[in-house]
Amino acid sequence: MITVDVALERVLAGLAPTATEVVALPAALGRVLAEDACARLAHPPSDVSAMDGYAVRAEDIAGPGSRLTVIGESGAGHPFAGTIGPGQTVRIFTGAPMAKGADSVVMQEDTARDGDTVTITVPQAAGRHVRPQGADFSVGDCLLKAGTLLGPRQIGLAAAMNLPWLTVRRRPRIAILSTGDEIVMPGDPVGTAQIVSSNGPALAAIIAQAGGEPVQLGIAKDSRDSLSAMIKAAAGCDLLVTSGGASVGDYDLVQDVLAEQGLELDFWKIAIRPGKPLMYGKLKHVPVLGLPGNPVSAMVCAYVFLLPMLRALQGLTPVVPPVAARLGGPVKANDGRQDYQRARLERRPDGSLVATPFPRQDSAVVSGLAAAGCLLIRPPHAPEGKEGDPVLVMPLPDGG
C-alpha cells in the first residue's frame, strides 16, 4: 500500500486551476484572485485631515498663542474652494480635503474659538495630522496578487482601490455520489436496516466551505444500472467524489462500474486509518476520488485529500502544513497505517496546543468527529507516546 504522502502527490499531480471569471466585488468573498488586482485610485485620493480641527500654515503657528482668522470650512466631501493666506485658517473635519495653502492641522482640543478668530493654545509641530495623498497606496499599485484568497479585508482593500469587479477562479464543481441500498436522505422514512446519509451533506458542506460548488448526484443503489446512470451525470464536473462501495464486499461495485465506463485507476487502498480503501483515478479526464462509506473515514479522507484538491483547483497552495502540539494523554504504538485520531484540542495559558485523543476511534462514530478540534496525526510505526510528547495535528475548521 502506498503512503498518504505519495497518494497525495499523485492526486494533486493532474490538477490544474479552473478557468477564470469576472465577478462583482460582493460575490468575490471566499474566491481566489486569478489576476493581480491593481489600484485605479490612490489612497487617500487627496491630502486629507486626520482630525477635526483647523487647517493652518505651519509658519503661522510657530509662536505660542497664535491667532488666526477663520475664512471657511472644509468638510468630508465638501472641500474649501479658496486658498489659505498668511494668518488665515479653515475649520476642517476628519477625512476632509486639506485646504489649499495649508500644510498642517491643529486638533480642536488645542484651540480656543471666539467668533471668526481661533487661538492655538498648545504648541504644535509642523505638518501634523495630515494624511498625504497616496500615503497608503498609489494608482497602479498591485496590492492583491493572483492566488490570494479573498476575505473581508481583501474585499475592503479592493473597494478602496476602486475595483468594482475582480477576476477570480471559477468555483470548482464537485459531484457527490453517495451509494448503498441502505442509505436514505435525512428526513425520509428510515426502514429497518437503513441508515441516513451523513456523508452527502457533510461532503457538500466541506466543499462549499472550501470555495467549491457541490453538485449532489443523489444516492445510487448497489446495482450496476443505478451506479452507471448516476456516474454519467458527473460529466462536466471538475471532480467526482463517491462515498461507499469502496471495499471488497460483494456489493462494493463502485470501482467495477467506473472501470466499465473507462476509469484509469491510479491507486486503490492506501496506508491510512481511517480510510484504507480510498480510490483515485480519472474517468474521461474527470478526476474521481472514491471515499470509503464509513462516515468518519469519508470525512477524514475529505480533509486529507479533498481539501488539498479543492485548493489546487482554485490555484491555492494545496497543502496546509500540520501544526505542532503536545499529547494530552498516552497513545499506543502505531502500525503501518498513518493514523488520524479524532482529538480534543486545547490552548494552554502559555500558548501551546494540547491534543487529547478520544477513547473511541471507530470509523462510524460521527459524534466524535463532530466534537473533535483536530485530527492527531500518528505516522506509520510511531512508537507509543505519553502526555507531553510532541505531535503534529491538523486543526479542523470550526473545531470544538
Buried/exposed 357-370: b ≥16 CB within 10 Å, e otherwise: bbeebebebeebbb
Contact between 275 and ligand MOO by CB under 6 A: the answer reads yes
Buried/exposed 53-77: b ≥16 CB within 10 Å, e otherwise: bbbbbeebbeeeebebeebbebeee
Contact between 255 and ligand LQZAQKY5 by CB under 6 A: the answer reads no
Contact between 214 and ligand MOO by CB under 6 A: the answer reads no
Which is nearest to 210 in space by CA: 243, 186, 174, 237?
Answer: 174
What sign has the CA pseudo-torsion 250, 254, 259, 264?
Answer: negative
CA distance 199 to 189: 18
Give residues 283-322 in contact with ligand MOO (rule: CB under 6 A). 292, 294, 297
Contact between 18 and ligand MOO by CB under 6 A: the answer reads no
Exactly one of 172, 212, 281, 292 binds ligand LQZAQKY5 (CB under 6 A); that residue is 292
The residues, any chain, with a CB within 8 Å of residue 372's CB and separated by 6 or more, are 342, 343, 344, 345, 358, 396, 399, 400
Which is nearest to 299 in space by CA: 167, 183, 394, 158?
Answer: 394
Residues in the interface with ligand MOO (CB under 6 A) total 8
Q: Which does 42 bind (CB under 5 to 8 A by kind): ligand LQZAQKY5, ligand MOO, none?
A: none
Classify 37 as helix, strand or coil.
Answer: strand
Q: Which does 197 bind (CB under 5 to 8 A by kind): ligand LQZAQKY5, ligand MOO, none?
A: ligand LQZAQKY5
Cell of 151: 476575505
Contact between 337 and ligand LQZAQKY5 by CB under 6 A: the answer reads no
Contact between 363 and ligand LQZAQKY5 by CB under 6 A: the answer reads yes
In the complex, least distance from residue 147 CB atom to ligand LQZAQKY5, rounded to whole angstroms: 34
- In DSSP notation, 139-206 reads TT---B-TT-B--HHHHHHHHHTT-SEEEEEPPPEEEEEEE-TTEE-TTS---TT-EE--HHHHHHHH
Contact between 131 and ligand MOO by CB under 6 A: the answer reads no
Task: Using the minimum distance from each CB to ligand MOO, give the nearer residue, 79 or 293.
Answer: 293
Q: Which residue is nearest to ligand MOO (CB)?
A: 274
Task: Using the minimum distance from each CB to ligand LQZAQKY5, give the nearer residue, 297 or 334.
Answer: 297
Residues in the interface with ligand LQZAQKY5 (CB under 6 A) total 26
In the complex, least distance from residue 284 CB atom to ligand LQZAQKY5, rounded to whole angstroms: 23
Q: Which does 195 bind (CB under 5 to 8 A by kind): ligand MOO, ligand LQZAQKY5, none?
A: ligand LQZAQKY5
Contact between 273 and ligand MOO by CB under 6 A: the answer reads yes
Contact between 274 and ligand MOO by CB under 6 A: the answer reads yes
- In DSSP notation, 285-299 reads TEEEEEE-SSHHHHH
Number of H helices, E strands in the chain: 8, 24
Given the rule CB under 6 A, which residues bind ligand LQZAQKY5?
178, 180, 182-183, 195, 197-200, 243-249, 252, 274, 276-277, 292-295, 297, 363
Given the rule CB under 6 A, which residues bind ligand MOO?
273-276, 292, 294, 297, 363
